[in-house]
Structure 1
Amino acid sequence: MSELRQKCIGRQRLVGSFAAIPHAVAVEVLALAGLDFLCIDWEHAQISRDMIETMIRAADVHRVPAMVRVPGHAPEAIAAALDSGAQGVLVPRVSTSAQAAMAVKASRYPPKGERGVGPGRAAGYGYRIPEYLAAANERTVVAVQVETAEGLANIEAIAAVEGVDVIFVGPGDLSVSIDALGPQGADKLADAIGRIISVAIGHSKAAGIFCAKPADVGQWAAIGASFFILASDTMFLGAGAAAGHSAAHAELARDRHG
């Protein structure tokens, strides 16, 4: 079993970030920041199939585990991410137990799943297929993202699916789906997130959530979440540039009046 999956299912607290900038340098910068893992965002970022592999390779250089949020439920996308060497997948918009089971099947080799055998990077381009097959099922993290009203209604059944390691909350899409946008919907959204986390833990699954800011990590850790994706490389870049710009202008103003 990989260290990442062991930590996930053991509910060790982990803080990672989304990698959305399609370049190895951006991945290396995030990796050097000391994050516990990276999640390459193939769903929302403009990242090509070949760049996925390049980004995973860049994370591997610094021994930081890399997962991939795939674009949807297609087994081909899940296989492509794992064949590239990803240590796990985050499957978005999982709203039923059948969809969760499909994610598990696409991520695991028989007899636990239906993943196809191929000579990709993960298997040493064909030179280490037997060794890879022997360990892959135990090494691969399967995380499913619950972010719809339907998923909230079906959370007990989703969390009961064998082979799912992490139940991950997408608060942005969930807030839209359950009509809990803005400050007026904050309590409704918090209750929904709390239920998902509670049910996940009740089924011995790790509970995870996207956090836009560090304070959110503490809020959800307090009720049992243990797997956190904090912001993204693009968000960190923007926040850092904005803070630097403001600080520089503050220095200019001080100089002008000094």
Structure 2
Amino acid sequence: MSDFRQKCLGGERLIGTFAAVPHPVTVEVTAAAGVDFLCIDAEHSQIGRELIENLIRASDVHRVPAIVRVPGHAPESIAGVLDAGAAGVLVPRVSTAAQAKAAVMATRYPPLGERGVGPGRAAGYGYRIPDYLKRANDEILLAVQIETAEGLAKVEEIVAVEGVDVIFIGPGDLSVSINALGPEGAKKLEAAILTIAKAARAAGKAVGIFRPSPDDVGKWRDAEITFYLIASDTMFLGAGVASAVSAARSA
């Protein structure tokens, strides 16, 4: 494990991307490219629990922390990826304080939570359980994703939940949920993002956001957003191929 969580809590700017390709080679190549962390996407990509452990291993080759966006709120999904050695979890669609508290309970060992002890990869397959138990609560990152109108309305309650480290903003689903689509909804969406960021920072939480490209990362400095997930491996692959083909055709 690493000091990844402490870097997040300390306000260090961290740049990562989503891993959506279900193959370790892609994870290893992306990790070697210089990202600060990876987020394996088990919510929107075809990545099952049985593959996640190998993807985490591939990221570990280059000592790049890998967190996992779990498919939902189920405690067993959270426990499974943490037992596989994930540096943390991103829990989607957190719209209430109760859901945020449940994520804390699933992520932390007693007395801070209710996570069960298992002989998984993170604990050396049972051979290093005492050592892992000493460190896990301090080193595992918990990020919760606010991406609904209800989550926006209840943001003050969500950010007040002890044990949540990062409030992560999902602009795509949020724009749909609050009816802020397209250019005409841009100001409404930006206001919602700033509302979430302000509440999170006031509560002492780190703030994260998804951006489809790095073009406007600098725009969010004043909002004290420090945790960025830029595009995904599939998006970078498509953009890279498109750019190369276009350049070749115009040569």
* TM-score greater than 0.5 by the shorter chain: yes
For the residues of structure 2 that align with 1:181 and 1:173, how far apart are their CA atoms? 10
**Residue 175 of structure 2 corresponds to residue 175 of structure 1:** yes
Are residues 1:115 and 2:101 paired?
no
CA distance in 2, matches of 1:93, 1:47: 19
- Aligned 1:201-216 pairs, distance under 5 A: 201-216=201-216
Query: Which residue is equivalent to 1:145?
Result: 145
Q: Is residue 2–residue 140 contact of structure 1 (8 Å, CA) maintained in 2?
A: no
Aligned partner of 2:155 in structure 1 is 155
Structure 1 residue 11: deviation in Å?
Answer: 1.1
**Other structure's SS at 2:204 match:** coil
Letter in 1 for 2:222: A
Equivalent in the alignment of 1:130: 130
Distance in 1 (alpha carbons) for counterparts of 2:208 and 2:88: 14
CA distance in structure 2 between the aligned counterparts of 1:217 and 1:106, rounded to whole angstroms: 32
Aligned to 1:35: 35
Instruction: Provide runs of 4+ in structure 1 moved above 4 Å.
Output: none
Question: Residue 244 of structure 1 corresponds to which residue in structure 2?
Answer: 244
Moved more, 209-218 or 196-205: 209-218
Read off the aligned partner of 1:231 and give its amino acid letter. Answer: A
Give percent identity, aligned residues only: 67
Structure 1 residue 91, shift from structure 2 partner: 0.1
> Which residue is equivalent to 1:24?
24
CA drift at 1:222: 2.9
Q: Distance in 2 between matches of 1:184 and 1:53?
A: 42
Say whether 1:231 aligns with 2:231: yes
- How much has 1:2 moved relative to structure 2? 3.4
The 8 Å contact of residues 2 and 138 in structure 1, kept in 2 or not, is answered as: no
Query: Which residue in the other structure is 1:187 paired with?
Result: 187
The amino acid of 2:175's aligned partner reads: S
Q: Distance in 2 between matches of 1:250 and 1:166?
A: 45
Q: In structure 2, how many angstroms separate the alpha carbons of the residues matched to 1:93 and 1:144?
A: 8
TM-score by length of 1: 0.96
Structure-1 separation of matches of 2:66 and 2:221: 22
Aligned counterparts, 1:43-62, within 5 A: 43-62=43-62
Other structure's SS at 2:18 match? strand
Structure 2 unmatched runs, 5+: none
Q: How far apart, in 2, do the equivalents of 1:222 and 1:243 lie?
A: 32
Q: Aligned AA for 1:53?
A: E
1:255 corresponds in structure 2 to none
CA RMSD of aligned residues (A): 0.8
Q: What SS does structure 1 have at the residue aligned with 2:161?
A: coil
The whole-number CA distance in structure 2 between the counterparts of 1:124 and 1:217 is 38
Report the alpha carbon displacement of residue 171 of structure 1 after superposing the two structures with TM.
0.2
1:143 CA displacement = 0.2
Cα distance in structure 2, aligned partners of 1:243 and 1:219: 25
Counterpart CA distance in 2 for 1:221 and 1:76 is 36
In 1, Cα distance between the equivalents of 2:2 and 2:166? 15
* Greater Rg over alpha carbons, structure: 1
CA distance in 2, matches of 1:163, 1:216: 30
Structure 1: segments with no counterpart, 5+ residues: 252-258
1:82 aligns with 2:88: no
Superposition deviation, residue 19 in structure 1: 0.3
Deviations 1:76-113 (A, max 9, x none): 00000100000000000000000000001000000000
C-alpha distance in 1 between matches for 2:117 and 2:211: 35
